[in-house]
């Protein structure tokens, strides 16, 4: 939250027979209001009033964006705007100086200066200071308050002063999540003779930051009204063209189409109902790049529009264009509206004569929430109905394999057996896979722009997952649950030597190992016929595996290598079970979550502006990483226990098989995430996110070393009843995650 100062200036009142302006000064810091006092100012002194009127006139001589020009007559001749601006600034500081404030006894009131000086000591150059001047007086609203030396000295950048009406109310806008969440901008270009090509380019460039401009060129009244009725609503209304306000700065009108004559000039009151509906829905900001817009802003503020940006007086096109260019460049970097306007004003000061940078001003509703570019966005989410459908599909994917095994093989005993052999595929999904699935979805919800690298990495994810699935389904060591209960195949005597020699030993040694299998484990002699052909039946292999547990029998391992080779079964596809399809779905879910993390991390690392809530996004990315890290100990179990027991002791080892690649990817993702946190997360959340990431890595790595023992005794071969701890743990962790952790993230993590 920025530091704020409110100056509430009332109408003229009598004080000891003198007219004065009552001023309430209220000071706010990050924790709220700190103090408030009431003082008085005399009305504008004649020298200040004269200089102000001269500035109004001469600054407007170059203005070309006004509906009508009814100027008072001043002395003609060459005017030095630099001298005039400096004189006006000097008179302003004299009026607001130490001797300008008086108390109820008409004596000099030193309290205002003391309060402002004391407040200055609490501010450093990195702090943002926002000033709001609340007044109904047209002259006071037109003054360049940011040139008051007392305020300007608060930071090296200066401060930004907004003006506000004294009558306003808080507006409650509830953004509804949408599948296609963009910052919708209604753009109206009035008189095309002014040339809006550059402004159009500036606005169209917002598309790369999630903006969605809809441009109307010299529309008719009916066309504008129809657009304002759009049920999707608008976040920003932008107008460039001619406009004007009445003498009191309370009523404004703008010209949407010069060709339509009077019909092309619209007063805010004529669009009151349509604008009120747009504001109630989602309209946050109106920008009028046109002359004399205080009346427009005043009427929109009365409708509770949070913010307007208008020109105090007449403005020339070059100033209006430069303001838009630099304001948008700062605003899309997620700087506050005040900071963005201040940055644009600094650029105007460099390019134009003094006094021209005073033209733009923010007109704010004091009760409006802080506005940044990111806060225009709601999460890109499906409707709750479609989210329910998606949740049902996700749950089906998580439990389809165990349910499929239970239904297809007709027994809890078979499910228990497969659970002990393959907990990394049967237990893990229902236990933890919902975490990366949900976290990846919520992270995607916060990506407002699908950048080229993200799309490429997403397609790469699909390619790698499908490629991995192909090799997994056509590779050797097919899992037993992938075969039907009555699956049978016969290997010819001519094919056996090729299969024997495939495992790195001579065919004779492998054959000898197989034929040495003890008959109490497996009757290998009955599997060979008189011609030397080998017939394998799943119904005989599974009991043999149960009898060999937990001993390593080299001959049985060699036989299982042959029995689970894809070459042996590819000509007999009818032997494959329905559970094989469910396994494929589970494999896709696990691998796609793991690979998609690369796209998620790369997006915020290389295109951080495409994310509109970086703190929450990184939280969910780390949660996705944690969910996949919890798969590592399950995968280690499958290598240490299942594969080493069924196929070969050589599979054992922390870095065995693909584990080297897994740990390398984990290291790359961790380093990329740390870099993303340091670049994109706010300072408040950086230590929290780094701790969360470190904790996740520790859990994953310790789990890969010590979690294997726990998995083995809870769900694996050393367990006696894996189903009970499996079901109980799934319910516990799901409830903890969805009812505690997710709610904590959604309600606590903000984009500061």
- Higher-confidence residue of 620 and 651: namely 620
Half-sphere exposure in the Cβ direction for 385 (13 Å, CA): 0
- Higher-confidence residue of 186 and 508: namely 186
Question: Is it the case that residue 207 has pLDDT exceeding 50?
Answer: yes
Instruction: Enumerate residues 6+ apart whose C-beta is below 8 A from 469.
Output: 584, 587, 588, 591
- Per-residue pLDDT of 88-125, as tens digits, reads 999 999 999 888 899 888 889 899 888 888 888 888 77
Half-sphere exposure in the Cβ direction for 276 (13 Å, CA): 8
Beta strands 101-102 and 307-311, pairing class:
unpaired
Q: Which of 90, 96, 9, 12 is nearest to 51 (CA)?
A: 90
pLDDT of residue 254: 92
**Angle ∠(26,30,36) on CA atoms, nearest 5:** 15
Please provide residue 143's backbone torsions phi and psi, each rounded to the nearest 5 degrees: -70, 145
Please tell me what DSSP assigns to residue 249: S
CB 128 within 8 A of CB 158: no
Q: Flag the least confident range among 123-127, 530-534, 571-575, 663-667.
A: 123-127
pLDDT of residue 556: 87
- Per-residue pLDDT of 652-661, as tens digits, reads 655 555 667 7
- Per-residue pLDDT of 512-553, as tens digits, reads 888 888 888 888 888 888 888 889 899 999 898 888 877 778
For 172-306, where are the E strands, in sequence order? 183-189, 211-217, 236-240, 242-245, 252-255, 265-267, 285-289
Residues shown for the chain: 752
pLDDT of residue 75: 41
Q: Which residues pair with 217 in a beta bridge?
A: 189
Instruction: Enumerate residues 6+ apart whose C-beta is below 8 A from 569.
Output: 478, 483, 487, 489, 575, 576
* H helix runs in 422-506, sequence order: 423-428, 434-445, 452-474, 496-501
Residue 314: pLDDT band with limits 50, 70, 90: confident
Return the sign of the alpha-carbon dihedral for residues 500, 502, 503, 505. Answer: positive
**Angle ∠(692,696,702) on CA atoms, nearest 5:** 145
- Per-residue pLDDT of 38-96, as tens digits, reads 999 999 999 999 999 988 888 877 555 555 444 444 444 456 788 888 999 999 999 99
CB 590 within 8 A of CB 631: yes
Beta strands 265-267 and 13-15, pairing class:
unpaired
Residue 577: pLDDT band with limits 50, 70, 90: very high
Enter the tokens of residue 398.
């998580």
d(CA 374, CA 369): 13
Question: Is it the case that residue 725 has pLDDT exceeding 60?
Answer: yes
pLDDT of residue 345: 93
Task: Write down the residue that tokens 């694996």 correspond to.
Answer: 716
pLDDT of residue 69: 41
- Per-residue pLDDT of 137-166, as tens digits, reads 889 999 999 999 888 888 777 788 999 876
Write 675-678 long-range contacts (CB < 8 A, 24+). 675/605, 676/601, 676/604, 676/605, 676/608, 676/618, 676/621, 677/618
Please provide residue 238's backbone torsions phi and psi, each rounded to the nearest 5 degrees: -125, 130
CB 633 within 8 A of CB 537: no
Task: Write down the residue that tokens 């009991």 correspond to.
Answer: 543
- Per-residue pLDDT of 9-44, as tens digits, reads 998 888 888 889 999 999 988 778 888 999 999 999
d(CA 347, CA 6): 26
pLDDT of residue 74: 42
pLDDT of residue 579: 94
- Per-residue pLDDT of 209-247, as tens digits, reads 889 999 999 999 999 999 999 988 899 999 999 998 888
Question: Is it the case that residue 483 has pLDDT exceeding 60?
Answer: yes
Average pLDDT of the residues of the chain: 87
Q: Which of 449, 66, 448 is nearest to 289 (CA)?
A: 66
């Amino acid at each position: 939250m920025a530091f704020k100062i409110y100056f509430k200036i009332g109408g003229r009142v009598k004080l000891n027979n003198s007219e004065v302006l009552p001023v309430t000064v209220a000071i706010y810091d990050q924790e709220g209001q700190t103090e408030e006092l009431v003082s008085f100012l005399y009305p504008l002194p004649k020298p200040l009033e004269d200089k102000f009127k001269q500035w109004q006139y001469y600054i407007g001589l170059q203005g070309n964006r006004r509906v009508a020009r009814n100027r008072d007559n001043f002395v003609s001749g060459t005017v030095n705007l630099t001298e005039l601006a400096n004189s006006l600034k000097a008179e302003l500081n004299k009026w607001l100086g130490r001797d300008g404030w008086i108390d109820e006894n008409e004596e000099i009131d030193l309290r205002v200066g003391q309060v402002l000086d004391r407040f200055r000591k609490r501010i450093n150059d990195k702090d943002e200071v926002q000033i709001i001047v609340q007044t109904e007086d047209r002259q006071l609203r037109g003054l360049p308050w940011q040139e008051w030396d007392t305020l300007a000295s608060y930071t090296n950048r200066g401060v930004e002063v907004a003006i506000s009406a004294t009558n306003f109310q808080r507006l409650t806008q509830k953004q509804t999540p949408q599948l296609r969440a963009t910052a919708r901008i209604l753009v109206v270009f009035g008189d095309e003779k002014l040339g809006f090509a550059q402004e159009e380019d500036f606005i169209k460039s917002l598309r790369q930051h999630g903006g969605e401009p809809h441009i109307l060129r010299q529309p008719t009244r009916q066309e504008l009204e129809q657009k304002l009725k759009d049920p999707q609503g608008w976040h920003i209304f932008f107008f460039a063209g001619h406009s004007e306000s009445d003498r009191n700065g309370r009523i404004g009108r703008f010209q949407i189409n010069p060709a339509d004559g009077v019909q092309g000039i619209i007063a805010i009151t004529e669009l009151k109902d349509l604008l009120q509906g747009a504001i109630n829905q989602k309209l946050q900001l109106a920008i009028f790049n046109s002359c004399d817009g205080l009346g427009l802003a005043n009427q929109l503020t009365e409708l509770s529009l949070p913010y307007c940006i208008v020109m105090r007086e007449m403005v020339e096109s070059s100033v209006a264009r430069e303001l838009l260019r630099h304001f948008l460049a700062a605003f899309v970097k997620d700087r506050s509206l005040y900071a963005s306007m201040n940055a644009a004003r600094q650029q105007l000061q460099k390019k134009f004569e003094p006094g021209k940078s005073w033209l733009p001003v923010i007109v704010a509703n004091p009760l409006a929430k802080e506005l940044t570019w990111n806060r225009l966005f709601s999460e890109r989410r499906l409707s709750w109905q479609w989210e329910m459908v998606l949740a049902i599909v996700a749950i089906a994917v998580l439990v389809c394999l165990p349910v499929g095994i239970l239904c297809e093989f007709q027994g809890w005993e078979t499910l228990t057996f497969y659970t002990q052999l393959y907990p990394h595929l049967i237990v893990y999904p229902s236990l933890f896979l919902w975490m990366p699935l949900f976290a990846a979805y919520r992270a995607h919800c916060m990506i407002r722009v699908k950048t080229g690298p993200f799309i490429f990495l997403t397609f790469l994810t699909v390619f790698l997952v499908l490629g991995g699935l192909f090799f997994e389904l056509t590779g050797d060591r097919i899992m037993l649950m992938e075969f039907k209960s009555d699956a049978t195949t016969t290997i010819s005597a001519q094919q056996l030597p090729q299969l024997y020699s495939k495992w790195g030993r001579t065919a004779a040694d492998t054959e000898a190992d197989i034929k040495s299998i003890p008959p109490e484990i497996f009757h290998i002699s009955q599997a060979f016929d008189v011609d030397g052909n080998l017939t394998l039946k799943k119904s005989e292999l599974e009991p043999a595996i149960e009898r060999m547990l937990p001993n390593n029998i080299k001959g049985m391992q060699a036989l299982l290598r042959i029995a689970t080779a894809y070459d042996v079964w590819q000509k007999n596809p009818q032997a494959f079970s329905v559970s094989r399809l469910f396994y494929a779905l589970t494999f896709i879910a696990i691998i796609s979550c793991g690979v998609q993390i690369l796209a998620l991390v790369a997006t915020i690392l290389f295109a951080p502006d495409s994310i509109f809530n970086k703190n929450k996004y990184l939280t969910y990315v780390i949660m996705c990483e944690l969910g996949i890290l919890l798969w590592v100990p399950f995968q280690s179990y499958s290598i240490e226990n299942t594969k080493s027991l069924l196929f070969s002791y050589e599979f054992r080892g922390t870095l065995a098989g693909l584990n080297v690649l897994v740990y390398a990817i984990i290291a790359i993702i961790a380093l990329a995430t740390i870099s993303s946190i340091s670049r994109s997360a706010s300072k408040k959340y950086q230590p929290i996110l780094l701790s969360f990431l470190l904790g996740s890595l520790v859990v994953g790595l310790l789990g890969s070393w010590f979690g294997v023992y726990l998995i083995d005794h809870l769900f694996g071969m050393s367990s006696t009843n894996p189903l009970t701890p499996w079901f109980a743990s799934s319910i516990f962790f799901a409830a903890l995650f969805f009812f505690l952790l997710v709610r904590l993230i959604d309600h606590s993590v903000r984009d500061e």
